[in-house]
Amino acid sequence: MALKFQYNKTALQNLRRQLSIREKALPTLKSKEAALRLEVRKIMIELSSIKEDLESLLKKAESYNSFWTEFPSIVKVNKVNSYIKNIAGVKVPILEDIDYKIEPVSLFNMPSWIRVAIDMFKSIMTLEIKMEVLETRLHALAYARKKTTQKVNLYEKVQIPEYSTAIIKIKRYMEDEENLSKSSQKIVKERNRRKEAEL
């Protein structure tokens, strides 16, 4: 949609103000976009690393497949501790630690592999929770990066050129009007002088 404006000083001042706001905001938006892009890249690398770790752990757990049916549900996630961090103006969750609750059982009556299974189960759950938190962070940051990129493009490719063009048009119009006014004043003065000379 084309920018609508009037050809007067008030509109000119308003357009200059709007242009100035956008020109000052553009570097900040570009640095925010770069920071978000870097953060998204870091998270994607971290996510792929965790996925590889999880896959290798799950392959290792396959050797215990026959035992998992006997594995009692003694390990539960009690609490996931996280906090909110502000990254380039976006609030995202950061995982602190995971509190596991292990049901009291007599390890003497359980098979010897139960201890290993408990550790393996905790490791798998830890990696899955880390992935979940990272994916939440990734979605929030990717969405913010997309919106920031759109705003940068809007300012850089649409609004700043439109405002600049509008300012030039208003200036030219006002200069033309001033020139016409001066010319008409000269013509009127010349007529008045001729009339006076005739009298």
pLDDT band for position 168 (cuts 50, 70, 90): very high
pLDDT band for position 81 (cuts 50, 70, 90): very high
- CA 75, 77, 78, 83 torsion: positive or negative? positive
pLDDT tens digits, one per residue of 113-124: 677 777 888 898
Alpha carbon 27 to its chain centroid, in Å, reads 15
Computed over every residue of the chain, the mean pLDDT equals: 88
Q: Which domains does the chain have, with CATH numbers?
A: 9-187 (1.10.287.3240)
Residue with the bigger pLDDT between 199 and 134: it is: 134
- Mean of pLDDT values over 148-174: 94
Give the integer Cα–Cα distance in Å for 101 and 146.
40
Q: Which residues contact 82 (CB under 8 A, 6 or more apart)?
A: 93, 94, 95, 96, 133
- Mean of pLDDT values over 84-99: 92
pLDDT at 119: 84
